Amino acid sequence: MLNVVLFGPPGAGKGTQSEKLLNKYELVHLSTGDIFRFNIKNNTELGQLAKTYMDDGKLVPDEVTIKMLEAEVNKYNNPNGFIFDGFPRTIDQAKALDTFLEKLNSEIGVMLALDVPEEELKSRLKQRALTSGRPDDANDDVIQNRINIYKNETLPLKDYYSNQNKYTEVYGIGTVEEVFFRLCEALDGIKV
Ligand code: B4P
């Protein structure tokens, strides 16, 4: 199994690039953001809870997110591997992910991190707000909050995976195709 964590700040292009990677490498795509938004759209109990955090740009609590992710992982029987998009976002989530994968006799192969400067992130999210209808993209304070939470709670994962020699950074500026090419180069280097 090839298990990839696609990592980066809000708006770095994780969702965009995951769609392309999953086709090329035939991996299962698990995006916690997409799963939460699906639940919000369908007005489930989980969706109602997640919405109260997401609209403010806060992380959904670990116990909720971890339980949901494990249930998703267990839906698949013998996949080629997973792309985890937007998960883990905290050290506790990363530890939980290691435990789930151990149960499947597997592990994370690599964390691919998209490196994008803050000004570009803000401009992409505001652009997306014009069409996405996402409340968390539409407000400058919420965007800033998401970036701050990323720096404080999510960025420590860089060390978590670096210490296991699993961290690879990819420059996230350029066209979607250019960034995809760099990600594939990084991934192919690891697979060989
Ligand atoms: P997510 O859904 O994970 O999304 P994201 O961080 O907003 O963006 P992503 O990096 O996927 O950006 P995209 O490709 O769309 O999270 C949303 C919220 O869900 C979180 O704030 C949190 O509340 C909650 N949540 C999710 N996971 C959680 C977890 N594990 N624990 C707790 N809470 C969790 O790209 C953004 C824009 O840039 C798009 O418009 C795209 O078209 C554009 N773009 C992409 N690549 C580009 C390029 N190369 N050049 C120019 N524009 C580009």
* pLDDT 10s digits, 42-78: 999 999 999 999 999 999 999 999 999 999 999 999 8
Q: Could you give the domains of the chain? A: 2-190 (3.40.50.300)
Whether the model pTM is above 0.85: yes
**Which residue in 21, 20, 18 sits closest to 7, CA to CA?**
18
15 has pLDDT over 60: yes
Token representation of residue 85: 């998009």
User: Which of these, 26, 2, 192, 187, lies nearest to 109 by C-alpha position?
Assistant: 2
Q: Which atom of ligand 1 is nearest to the CA of 136?
A: 21
- Residue 191: predicted pLDDT: 65
Average model confidence (pLDDT) for the chain? 95
Using most ligand atoms within 8 A of CB, pick from 5, 6, 16 the residue to mutate for ligand 1.
Answer: 16
Q: Is 13 a residue whose pLDDT tops 70?
A: yes
| Residue tagged active-site, from 126, 128, 166, 182 | 128
pLDDT of residue 190: 80
Percent of the chain with pLDDT over 70: 99
pLDDT on residue 186: 95
Q: Which of 20, 122, 134, 182 is catalytic?
A: 134
